[in-house]
Amino acid sequence: MFNMRIFRATKLLCRSFSNTLHSEPLRVCVVGSGPAGCYTAEKMLKAREQAQVDIIDRLPTPFGLVRSGVAPDHPETKIVVNQFSRVAQHERCSFFGNVTLGSSVSLAELRGLYHVVVLAYGAESDKNLGIPGENLKGVLSAREFVWWYNGHPDGQNLDPDLKSTDTAVILGQGNVALDVARILLRPTLELASTDIASHALATLEESSIRVVYLVGRRGPAQAACTAKELREVLGIQNLDISIQESDLLLTPADEEELKSNRIHRRIFELLSKAATSRPRHAGLNQRRLHFVFFRKPDCFQESKDNTGHVSGVRFEKTVLKGVGPGNQIAVGTGEFEDIKCGIVLKSIGYKSVPVDGLPFDHKKGIVPNDKGRVLSDTSDTAALEEGLYVCGWLKRGPTGIVATNLYCAEETVSSILEDLENGVLISSRAALKPGRNGLLKLLHDRNVRIVSFNDWEKIDSEERRLGSLRNKPREKLATWNELLTATTEGTEYYT
């Protein structure tokens, strides 16, 4: 009872104190302009009339994976950038591109400049398998490959060799794996009218890949993809699908699992139907997609004629063991099988990376947090990192669609508002923080060339202009130099 009274009195005190600070804007910095960052900024601007929000991003272009992840043949998913652009153009919001947390500005500096810092910088690295041969040439991560075909400026030099082999192996059966398979197998004529990077289209046009293995360590009842994306792959023109009917035999545990999971049930039905369909095509340009289940990668094999280059993957066959529905894991049987190929794309998940001074849970690959509030460590006694929040893939791990980040941002912003209300942010809020002016001064002193939202609009209109010449929605500028040059007014980069 006594504690309750003290709590109420403190809360009242904090409220009256924070009222006196109302003339001072709440200065918020959001790191990352992907869905998590943009939704956070939007919610913050709506919730607090006093909030001034700055979004920084390491790229000269905003929107994160909506630009550099979502497949070029999924234009409808990218419409959300209209909403995100309205956020960035809000009178109390600014976008500062080409500003990297960790090199242009440190976390400690940002926390000194702003009352609230929200980290939403995603997951820009890859999970590793940790098996022999992972560093061989030709073993690539799906993330790099996606950056390459989507014109990310750090993906331009990947230059995957799609000419020296007719077979590719994709590891993993999530939606990214399906995106990658579709880009490799879809007729390039259909990709030519999308916003795919021109260097990627040119390479794909010359590709000799005709066979793709999409390999999962578990079974068709556990495949991580969703129905719409699977249907799209199954419907590719001139593509035969191969699935071993024996892989479709369900155990009682699988049946239990399917009963309680509608998405997996739908996937299983689609795969079963595809397995029994007769090959539809014959002829020169025929392509084939093998869905392979119950195989976990054991090692990558080195080519005998081309030293240092991959020539195949050795898989260990698996069976599923588990404690209950949804928890079945793949266990090796000691039986092995090789698939020969000239290129491997590992699509086993993305991974976030920490910056200096940021608590990080290396096991889960996320920032330890309580509903978006950053915690000092992963223990039960962890303290709150005052004024520091997290959202999106960096908060939850690398799963979820664009809209998942809307709910994630709602939760993080609710935590910020609750903390403001309860005086948790009182010492950070009490300080006069320089916010935007302080950041601009610091970046100016370091000669960081800031790309504003106006500058991005110049890039955008140049890309659209180039695209219109090629019957594409846009031709992405895919190098740092091209992007930064296009921010110079009136530039017509090339035709």
Cite the annotated binding site by residue number.
36, 65, 101, 173-176, 217-218, 229, 393, 400
Query: What's the min distance (Å) between Cβ of 132 and ligand NAP?
Result: 14
Query: What's the min distance (Å) between Cβ of 147 and ligand NAP?
Result: 13
Binding piece for ligand FAD, criterion CB under 6 A, among 66-74, 306-314, 359-367, 446-454? 66-74
Can you tell me the distance from the alpha carbon of 367 to that of 385, in angstroms, rounded to the nearest whole number? 11
Q: Is 34 in the site for ligand NAP (CB under 6 A)?
A: no
List, as one string, the DSSP characters of 430-488. HS---HHHHHHHHHHHTT---B-HHHHHHHHHHHHHHHHHTTSS-----SHHHHHHHTS
Instruction: Figure out which of the listed residues 114, 148, 393, 453 binds ligand FAD, where binding follows CB under 6 A.
Output: 393
Query: What's the min distance (Å) between Cβ of 202 and ligand NAP?
Result: 24
Query: What's the min distance (Å) between Cβ of 365 and ligand NAP?
Result: 12
Instruction: Figure out which of the listed residues 209, 239, 299, 348 binds ligand NAP, where binding follows CB under 6 A.
Output: 348
Q: Is 412 in the site for ligand FAD (CB under 6 A)?
A: no
Instruction: Figure out which of the listed residues 74, 210, 266, 464 binds ligand FAD, where binding follows CB under 6 A.
Output: 74
Q: Is 299 in the site for ligand NAP (CB under 6 A)?
A: no
As a whole number of angstroms, the longest Cα–Cα distance in the chain is 83
Binding piece for ligand NAP, criterion CB under 6 A, among 32-40, 51-59, 165-173, 415-423? 165-173
- The partner residues of 449 in beta bridges, in order of sequence, read none
Both tokens of 421, joined, read 């209300």
- The partner residues of 317 in beta bridges, in order of sequence, read 295
Instruction: Figure out which of the listed residues 32, 35, 60, 349 binds ligand NAP, where binding follows CB under 6 A.
Output: 349
The DSSP code for 250 is: P
Q: Is 217 in the site for ligand NAP (CB under 6 A)?
A: yes
Instruction: Figure out which of the listed residues 177, 221, 267, 459 binds ligand NAP, where binding follows CB under 6 A.
Output: 177
Nearer to ligand FAD, 146 or 374 (CB): 146
Can you tell me the distance from the alpha carbon of 434 to that of 14, in angstroms, rounded to the nearest whole number? 22
Q: Is 59 in the site for ligand FAD (CB under 6 A)?
A: yes
Q: Is 292 in the site for ligand NAP (CB under 6 A)?
A: no
Query: What's the min distance (Å) between Cβ of 148 and ligand FAD?
Result: 11
The residue with tokens 């209109």 is: 461
The DSSP code for 120 is: -
Can you tell me the distance from the alpha carbon of 392 to that of 43, in angstroms, rounded to the nearest whole number? 14
User: Within 13 A of 71's CA, how many CA atoms are on the CB side?
Assistant: 20
Query: What's the min distance (Å) between Cβ of 192 and ligand FAD?
Result: 20
Both tokens of 215, joined, read 């390999």
Nearer to ligand NAP, 32 or 387 (CB): 32
The residue with tokens 């892989």 is: 247
Q: Is 33 in the site for ligand FAD (CB under 6 A)?
A: yes
Can you tell me the distance from the alpha carbon of 30 to that of 95, in angstroms, rounded to the nearest whole number? 10
Q: Is 220 in the site for ligand NAP (CB under 6 A)?
A: no
The SS3 call for residue 322 is coil
Instruction: Figure out which of the listed residues 392, 424, 450, 462 binds ligand FAD, where binding follows CB under 6 A.
Output: 392
The DSSP code for 319 is: E
Q: Is 34 in the site for ligand FAD (CB under 6 A)?
A: yes
Q: Is 374 in the site for ligand FAD (CB under 6 A)?
A: no
CA angle 189, 191, 192 (to 5 degrees): 65
* 391, 416 Cβ separation under 8 angstroms: no
How many chain residues are in contact with ligand FAD, going by CB under 6 A?
Answer: 34
* Chain-centre distance for alpha carbon 292: 25
Binding piece for ligand NAP, criterion CB under 6 A, among 175-183, 247-255, 276-284, 420-428? 175-183
Q: Is 194 in the site for ligand NAP (CB under 6 A)?
A: no
Instruction: Figure out which of the listed residues 402, 424, 426, 486 binds ligand FAD, where binding follows CB under 6 A.
Output: 402
Query: What's the min distance (Å) between Cβ of 381 and ligand FAD?
Result: 28
Can you tell me the distance from the alpha carbon of 267 to that of 263, in angstroms, rounded to the nearest whole number? 6
Nearest alpha-carbon partner for 327 in 389, 254, 272, 378: 254
Can you tell me the distance from the alpha carbon of 203 to that of 371, in angstroms, rounded to the nearest whole number? 44
Of 157-186, binders to ligand FAD (CB under 6 A) are 176, 179
Which amino acids are annotated as binding site for NADP(+), given as ranges?
Answer: 173-176, 217-218, 229, 400
* 369, 390 Cβ separation under 8 angstroms: yes
Q: Is 218 in the site for ligand NAP (CB under 6 A)?
A: yes
Can you tell me the distance from the alpha carbon of 97 to that of 422, in angstroms, rounded to the nearest whole number? 33
From residue 359, alpha-carbon distances to 31, 119, 131, 396 in Å are 16, 12, 28, 14
59 binds, among ligand FAD, ligand NAP, none (CB under 5 to 8 A by kind): ligand FAD
- Please give the single-letter amino acid code of residue 370: D
Q: Is 398 in the site for ligand NAP (CB under 6 A)?
A: yes
Both tokens of 294, joined, read 């119950």
Nearer to ligand NAP, 227 or 384 (CB): 227
From residue 133, alpha-carbon distances to 297, 302, 396 in Å are 11, 7, 30
- Measured over the CA atoms of residue 373, residue 374, residue 380 and residue 383, the dihedral's sign is negative
Instruction: Figure out which of the listed residues 133, 216, 220, 342 binds ligand NAP, where binding follows CB under 6 A.
Output: 216
Residues engaged in binding ligand FAD (CB under 6 A): 31-37, 56-59, 64-65, 69-70, 74, 77, 100-102, 120-122, 124, 146, 176, 179, 392-393, 400-402, 404-405
Residues engaged in binding ligand NAP (CB under 6 A): 129, 171-177, 179, 216-218, 222, 224, 229, 296, 347-350, 398-401
